Amino acid sequence: GENVEQHPSTLSVQEGDSAVIKCTYSDSASNYFPWYKQELGKRPQLIIDIRSNVGEKKDQRIAVTLNKTAKHFSLHITETQPEDSAVYFCAASGGGGADGLTFGKGTHLIIQP
Amino acid sequence: DAGITQSPRHKVTETGTPVTLRCHQTENHRYMYWYRQDPGHGLRLIHYSYGVKDTDKGEVSDGYSVSRSKTEDFLLTLESATSSQTSVYFCAISRTSGGAGTDTQYFGPGTRLTVL
């Protein structure tokens, strides 16, 4: 089945700087790659997603890039703000196995004032 | 938030007792999922449903069963709860899943289950 690796597990950046979180996946048939943000005690919330026919997608300060050949995708957050502090999860879906998302283990993003 | 509720929101139970968690949606989405979330493991798929009475196993299905008798309800049952099943359980829904039609999954608020 699909395996998703996510790095780093913890990322601390100064407010205003950029943050980058990277994920790799194993199943070349995967075609959908969402990113979720989860605040403490809350449900995961979708922040951006990308499909395999697109190489990059942006939404204001957030962008995701996908390299299908290398089987990796990344989340980029620019001009970080205190409210960006949370745990971020990447995921992959649509491969040849069972339906549902396979998640990375998460990145705890800390924005230092 | 999508119209998804989970009940109960918190539960403490003892080892060996049966437990049923309920997920209810008002979006009329076809696909429903159960995930568990544990520190250091992210979210892992337990079971999913692709229609009424149509279910399949996920990555960590041992010790769990599910049922879906109506579009809006998806039940997760722990037949005999064990301490290893202490976790936060999230339900999710989507209009489509897999292949070319993969769609966004929206999550419910979660159920925190403690098995003593």
Chain B closest-CA separation from residue A97 CA (Å): 9
Q: A101 and B105 in contact (C-beta within 8 Å)? A: yes
**Which chain A residue has its CA at the smallest distance from B109's CA?**
A43
Q: Whose structure tokens read 């196993």?
A: B57
Please write the tens of the pLDDT for every residue from B64-73.
999 999 999 9
- Taking the C-alpha atoms of residue A80 and residue B2, their distance in angstroms, rounded to an integer, is 27
- Tell me the residue length of chain A: 113
Which residues of B lie closer than 8 Å to A, measured between beta carbons? Answer: 1, 31, 33, 40-45, 48, 50, 56-59, 90, 92, 97-100, 102, 104-110
Both tokens of B105, joined, read 């999954």
The pLDDT, as a whole number, for residue A100 is 85
Q: pLDDT category, B95, cuts 50, 70, 90?
A: confident
Tens-digit pLDDT profile for chain A (113 aa)? 889 999 999 999 999 999 999 999 999 888 889 999 999 999 999 999 998 888 999 999 999 999 999 999 999 999 999 999 999 999 998 665 557 899 999 999 999 99
Q: A18 and A108 in contact (C-beta within 8 Å)? A: no
- Range B64-85 average pLDDT: 97
- The CA-based angle A61-A35-B85, given to 5 degrees, is 145
